[in-house]
Amino acid sequence: MKFLITGAAGFIGYHLSSNLLSQKYKVVAVDNINSYYDIKLKKHRIKLLKKDKNKINFSFIKLDLQNKKKLKHIFKQNNFDFVIHLAAQAGVRFSIDRPEEYIKSNVIGFFNLLEIIRYTKTKLIFASSSSVYGKTKQNSFSESQKNSEPLQLYAATKSSNELMAYAYHSLYNLCVIGLRFFTVYGPLGRPDMAVYKFSKKIVQNKNIELFNRGNHSRDFTYISDVVECILKCVNKYKNKKEKIYQIFNVANGKPEKITYLINLLSKEFNKKARLRPDKLQMGDMINTKASINKTKRFLKFKPKVKLNEGVKEFVNWFKKYHKI
């Protein structure tokens, strides 16, 4: 099979591409390598993919999804079995400071992709997010519940993606699957996210700002479980000929308190964490907890990695990467 992976220099895109290469699939990777976080890490990920033992099956093209002409050209030159669309302006808090980036990448970029697959009929798996659940009061978030109260523009663009994808699926008989990822973490993870940010603060003996005074919990999901879920999706839908639209939560299903995460990190680094309690930040959700019943039933997905195991893997990588 041949895959187009958008956002392949990103955290999830890298791990997915690496797994696909290990199975000898062909991967065409695109990314605009934006500077939302350290581009050294993005370049490092691409370098690793270029050195993979199946590198013959890998090609990387620097591309911004706003460039529809170039994107169209890539589709003309390749016959993809799947597009796995992970490129996006990620980050919840940044969407308050730089909203235009979210419209450009998440709305226009996604629209360009849909406009192309409308004709090529390529199967699409795209990244949505737990943040679409927004202001919900439900204790456990399930795909069937209504969610029309996003807390920031990031969430609004991800909800828009789901609606845009539905419209294109329905009009042009496409196979489209949206995956709502819940707080993904692991080696080569994102520097703007809690696991990485807190690690850096612990190592540097700096204060960790404990937003909402630590009364947050997250459904932390380890990267290998996320990749496995995407692969299960590919296998389930690869031979289907009919039009399909599905949304799945991709999560561990077992939320943990932020303070528990800090304790685990502190233990792994063998260093005390310094905490500075702070107020709830604008646009933040307090708790996230997925119901993964549908994902289990449809995809036979079963998350395997517990937070303490995943944190250990992350810290091992972090120490090596930062030469600690």
321 is catalytic: no
Q: How far is the CB of 45 from ligand NAD (least distance, A)?
A: 8
116 binds ligand NAD (CB under 6 A): no
- Compare residues 129 and 295 and give the one whose CB is closer to ligand NAD: 129
Please, which residue, 202 or 290, has the CB nearer to ligand NAD? 290
265 contact partners, CB below 8 Å, separation of at least 6: 195, 198, 199, 202, 273, 311, 315
Which of the following is catalytic: 14, 25, 102, 154?
A: 154
Which 12-71 positions form the footprint of ligand NAD (CB under 6 A)? 12-13, 31-34, 42, 63-66
- Per DSSP, the three-state class of 36 is coil
Confirm or reject binding of residue 87 to ligand NAD (CB under 6 A): yes
Q: Any idea what DSSP says for residue 143?
A: T
Cα→Cα distances 187→12, 41, 318, 319, Å: 10, 11, 7, 10
* d(C-alpha 263, C-alpha 138), whole Å: 27
Query: Could you tell me the smallest distance in angstroms from the CB atom of residue 81 to ligand NAD?
Result: 20
Least distance to ligand NAD, CB of residue 241, Å: 28
Measured CA to CA, the distance from residue 313 to residue 324 in angstroms comes to: 15
Query: Residue 127 interacts with ligand NAD (CB under 6 A)?
Result: yes
x/- map, 172-211, ligand NAD, by CB under 6 A: ---------x-xx-----x---------------------
**Pick from 78, 247, 84, 245: nearest CA to 173:** 245
35-69 in b/e burial notation, b at 16+ Cβ within 10 A? ebbeeebbeebbeebeebebeebbebeebbbeebe
> In whole angstroms, what is the distance from residue 194 CA to residue 174 CA?
36
Q: Which of residues 285-324 bind ligand NAD (CB under 6 A)?
A: none
- Annotated catalytic residues are 154
Q: Which residues contact ligand NAD by CB under 6 A? A: 7, 9-13, 31-34, 42, 63-66, 86-90, 105, 109, 127, 129, 181, 183-184, 190
